[in-house]
Amino acid sequence: MQSTKSVRCHHLGEVDYHQTWQQMQDFTDSRQSDTQDELWFLQHPSVYTLGKNGKIEHVLNPAGIPVVNSDRGGQVTYHGPGQIVVYTLLDLNRLKIGVRDLVTLIEQTVIELLASYEINAYDKREAPGVYVNDAKIAALGLRVRKGCSFHGLALNVDMNMEPFSRINPCGYEGLEVTQIKDFVEDINVADVVGNLQQKLLKNISAKQKI
Protein backbone atom coordinates (compact mmCIF):
# COMPACT_ATOMS: atom_id res chain seq x y z
CA MET A 1 0.00 0.00 0.00
CA GLN A 2 1.24 3.48 -0.91
CA SER A 3 -0.34 6.82 -0.20
CA THR A 4 -0.10 10.57 -0.52
CA LYS A 5 -1.63 13.00 1.94
CA SER A 6 -5.07 12.65 0.41
CA VAL A 7 -5.14 9.47 -1.73
CA ARG A 8 -4.25 5.97 -0.57
CA CYS A 9 -3.18 3.45 -3.24
CA HIS A 10 -3.77 -0.30 -2.90
CA HIS A 11 -2.21 -2.93 -5.18
CA LEU A 12 -4.48 -5.96 -4.96
CA GLY A 13 -3.04 -8.33 -7.57
CA GLU A 14 -5.48 -10.57 -9.46
CA VAL A 15 -8.81 -10.59 -7.64
CA ASP A 16 -12.35 -11.83 -8.22
CA TYR A 17 -14.69 -9.30 -9.85
CA HIS A 18 -17.74 -9.95 -7.64
CA GLN A 19 -15.76 -9.76 -4.42
CA THR A 20 -14.00 -6.54 -5.40
CA TRP A 21 -17.26 -4.96 -6.59
CA GLN A 22 -18.83 -5.70 -3.19
CA GLN A 23 -15.82 -4.22 -1.41
CA MET A 24 -16.14 -1.04 -3.49
CA GLN A 25 -19.80 -0.72 -2.56
CA ASP A 26 -19.09 -1.34 1.13
CA PHE A 27 -16.29 1.24 1.12
CA THR A 28 -18.48 3.84 -0.59
CA ASP A 29 -21.51 3.22 1.64
CA SER A 30 -19.51 3.42 4.86
CA ARG A 31 -17.21 6.35 4.04
CA GLN A 32 -17.52 9.65 5.90
CA SER A 33 -16.74 13.23 4.90
CA ASP A 34 -13.16 12.84 6.16
CA THR A 35 -12.53 9.35 4.70
CA GLN A 36 -9.32 9.27 2.68
CA ASP A 37 -9.79 8.73 -1.06
CA GLU A 38 -8.39 5.51 -2.51
CA LEU A 39 -7.16 4.11 -5.83
CA TRP A 40 -7.24 0.33 -6.25
CA PHE A 41 -4.87 -1.15 -8.85
CA LEU A 42 -5.63 -4.75 -9.82
CA GLN A 43 -6.36 -7.33 -12.49
CA HIS A 44 -9.36 -9.63 -12.86
CA PRO A 45 -9.62 -13.24 -14.04
CA SER A 46 -11.48 -13.47 -17.36
CA VAL A 47 -14.96 -11.94 -17.07
CA TYR A 48 -17.41 -9.97 -19.18
CA THR A 49 -19.22 -7.16 -17.38
CA LEU A 50 -22.35 -5.34 -18.47
CA GLY A 51 -23.01 -1.77 -17.33
CA LYS A 52 -26.30 -0.92 -15.64
CA ASN A 53 -27.88 -0.08 -19.01
CA GLY A 54 -25.94 -2.75 -20.89
CA LYS A 55 -27.70 -4.95 -23.43
CA ILE A 56 -27.03 -8.69 -23.33
CA GLU A 57 -27.23 -8.90 -27.13
CA HIS A 58 -23.82 -7.20 -27.25
CA VAL A 59 -22.40 -10.40 -25.73
CA LEU A 60 -22.17 -12.43 -28.94
CA ASN A 61 -20.58 -15.65 -27.66
CA PRO A 62 -19.22 -15.76 -24.09
CA ALA A 63 -17.90 -19.31 -24.64
CA GLY A 64 -17.73 -20.13 -20.96
CA ILE A 65 -16.44 -16.77 -19.71
CA PRO A 66 -18.73 -15.50 -16.91
CA VAL A 67 -21.02 -12.56 -17.69
CA VAL A 68 -21.74 -10.22 -14.76
CA ASN A 69 -24.41 -7.52 -14.63
CA SER A 70 -22.70 -4.60 -12.94
CA ASP A 71 -23.91 -1.22 -11.64
CA ARG A 72 -21.27 0.84 -13.44
CA GLY A 73 -21.96 3.07 -16.41
CA GLY A 74 -21.33 1.93 -19.96
CA GLN A 75 -22.09 -1.19 -21.94
CA VAL A 76 -20.19 -4.50 -22.15
CA THR A 77 -16.44 -4.95 -21.76
CA TYR A 78 -13.96 -7.70 -21.06
CA HIS A 79 -11.52 -7.95 -18.15
CA GLY A 80 -8.64 -10.41 -18.03
CA PRO A 81 -5.05 -10.91 -16.91
CA GLY A 82 -2.66 -8.38 -18.45
CA GLN A 83 -5.22 -5.58 -18.27
CA ILE A 84 -4.72 -2.91 -15.60
CA VAL A 85 -7.93 -2.05 -13.76
CA VAL A 86 -8.00 1.06 -11.58
CA TYR A 87 -10.96 1.66 -9.28
CA THR A 88 -11.29 5.34 -8.40
CA LEU A 89 -12.84 5.69 -4.93
CA LEU A 90 -12.98 9.47 -4.79
CA ASP A 91 -15.12 12.04 -2.97
CA LEU A 92 -16.16 14.20 -5.92
CA ASN A 93 -17.89 16.75 -3.69
CA ARG A 94 -14.67 17.30 -1.76
CA LEU A 95 -12.66 17.53 -4.99
CA LYS A 96 -15.30 19.93 -6.33
CA ILE A 97 -15.53 18.08 -9.64
CA GLY A 98 -18.36 16.37 -11.50
CA VAL A 99 -18.48 12.99 -13.19
CA ARG A 100 -17.58 14.45 -16.59
CA ASP A 101 -14.56 16.14 -15.00
CA LEU A 102 -13.43 12.82 -13.54
CA VAL A 103 -13.85 11.07 -16.90
CA THR A 104 -11.73 13.78 -18.54
CA LEU A 105 -9.08 13.53 -15.80
CA ILE A 106 -8.79 9.75 -16.26
CA GLU A 107 -8.74 9.98 -20.06
CA GLN A 108 -6.08 12.70 -20.07
CA THR A 109 -3.97 10.75 -17.58
CA VAL A 110 -4.04 7.68 -19.84
CA ILE A 111 -3.22 9.81 -22.89
CA GLU A 112 -0.27 11.28 -20.97
CA LEU A 113 0.82 7.80 -19.91
CA LEU A 114 0.69 6.46 -23.47
CA ALA A 115 2.62 9.47 -24.76
CA SER A 116 5.46 8.44 -22.43
CA TYR A 117 5.62 5.21 -24.51
CA GLU A 118 5.47 7.24 -27.75
CA ILE A 119 1.89 6.14 -28.44
CA ASN A 120 -0.34 8.87 -29.87
CA ALA A 121 -3.72 8.45 -28.15
CA TYR A 122 -6.86 10.57 -27.93
CA ASP A 123 -10.34 10.67 -26.39
CA LYS A 124 -13.76 10.95 -28.00
CA ARG A 125 -16.34 13.22 -26.39
CA GLU A 126 -19.22 11.10 -27.68
CA ALA A 127 -17.70 7.75 -26.64
CA PRO A 128 -15.76 7.83 -23.34
CA GLY A 129 -12.44 6.00 -23.31
CA VAL A 130 -9.04 6.33 -24.94
CA TYR A 131 -8.27 5.39 -28.54
CA VAL A 132 -5.26 4.78 -30.78
CA ASN A 133 -5.80 4.73 -34.56
CA ASP A 134 -9.58 4.34 -34.02
CA ALA A 135 -9.05 1.27 -31.80
CA LYS A 136 -9.98 1.40 -28.12
CA ILE A 137 -7.12 0.88 -25.69
CA ALA A 138 -8.82 1.96 -22.44
CA ALA A 139 -12.44 1.73 -21.30
CA LEU A 140 -14.15 3.75 -18.57
CA GLY A 141 -17.19 2.89 -16.49
CA LEU A 142 -18.10 4.83 -13.36
CA ARG A 143 -20.79 4.95 -10.70
CA VAL A 144 -21.43 7.78 -8.23
CA ARG A 145 -23.18 7.30 -4.89
CA LYS A 146 -23.39 9.87 -2.08
CA GLY A 147 -21.26 12.16 -4.22
CA CYS A 148 -18.46 9.58 -4.33
CA SER A 149 -17.21 7.59 -7.31
CA PHE A 150 -16.37 3.93 -7.67
CA HIS A 151 -15.54 1.58 -10.56
CA GLY A 152 -13.17 3.29 -13.00
CA LEU A 153 -10.66 2.40 -15.71
CA ALA A 154 -9.54 -0.68 -17.65
CA LEU A 155 -6.33 -0.27 -19.67
CA ASN A 156 -5.21 -3.04 -22.04
CA VAL A 157 -1.49 -3.66 -21.62
CA ASP A 158 -0.35 -7.21 -22.45
CA MET A 159 -3.26 -9.64 -22.61
CA ASN A 160 -5.11 -12.20 -24.70
CA MET A 161 -7.30 -9.99 -26.89
CA GLU A 162 -9.37 -12.83 -28.42
CA PRO A 163 -12.30 -12.53 -25.94
CA PHE A 164 -12.97 -8.99 -27.20
CA SER A 165 -13.91 -10.54 -30.57
CA ARG A 166 -16.89 -12.25 -28.90
CA ILE A 167 -18.58 -9.01 -27.83
CA ASN A 168 -19.48 -5.66 -29.32
CA PRO A 169 -16.99 -3.72 -27.18
CA CYS A 170 -18.74 -0.93 -25.26
CA GLY A 171 -21.83 -1.63 -27.36
CA TYR A 172 -20.22 -0.75 -30.71
CA GLU A 173 -20.38 -3.41 -33.40
CA GLY A 174 -17.06 -3.79 -35.16
CA LEU A 175 -15.12 -1.58 -32.75
CA GLU A 176 -11.47 -2.57 -32.82
CA VAL A 177 -9.60 -2.98 -29.55
CA THR A 178 -5.86 -2.67 -29.02
CA GLN A 179 -3.26 -2.81 -26.25
CA ILE A 180 0.10 -1.28 -25.35
CA LYS A 181 1.86 -4.52 -26.34
CA ASP A 182 0.83 -3.88 -29.98
CA PHE A 183 3.02 -0.75 -29.98
CA VAL A 184 5.73 -1.50 -27.42
CA GLU A 185 7.12 -5.01 -27.69
CA ASP A 186 9.06 -5.01 -24.42
CA ILE A 187 6.35 -3.86 -21.99
CA ASN A 188 6.03 -4.76 -18.32
CA VAL A 189 2.64 -4.52 -16.63
CA ALA A 190 4.10 -3.64 -13.22
CA ASP A 191 6.10 -0.78 -14.74
CA VAL A 192 2.96 0.57 -16.42
CA VAL A 193 1.09 0.40 -13.10
CA GLY A 194 3.78 2.46 -11.40
CA ASN A 195 3.80 5.03 -14.20
CA LEU A 196 0.01 5.26 -14.22
CA GLN A 197 -0.20 5.62 -10.45
CA GLN A 198 2.30 8.47 -10.46
CA LYS A 199 0.40 10.35 -13.16
CA LEU A 200 -3.03 9.79 -11.59
CA LEU A 201 -1.85 11.05 -8.21
CA LYS A 202 -0.30 14.11 -9.84
CA ASN A 203 -3.46 14.97 -11.75
CA ILE A 204 -5.78 14.39 -8.78
CA SER A 205 -3.50 16.55 -6.62
CA ALA A 206 -3.70 19.32 -9.22
CA LYS A 207 -7.50 19.28 -8.87
CA GLN A 208 -7.23 19.54 -5.09
CA LYS A 209 -5.18 22.74 -5.39
CA ILE A 210 -7.65 24.55 -7.65
Q: Which positions are annotated as active-site residues?
A: 170
Q: CA–CA separation, 164 vs 29, rounded Å?
A: 32
SS3 for the chain is CEECCCEEEEEEEECCHHHHHHHHHHHHHHCCCCCCEEEEEEECCCEEEECCCCCHHHECCCCCCCEEECCCCCCEEEECCCEEEEEEEEEHHHHCCCHHHHHHHHHHHHHHHHHCCCCCCEECCCCCCEEECCEEEEEEEEEEECCEEEEEEEEECCCCCHHHHHECHHHCCCCCECCHHHCCCCCCHHHHHHHHHHHHHHHHHHHHCC
Alpha carbon distance 82, 4 (integer Å)? 26
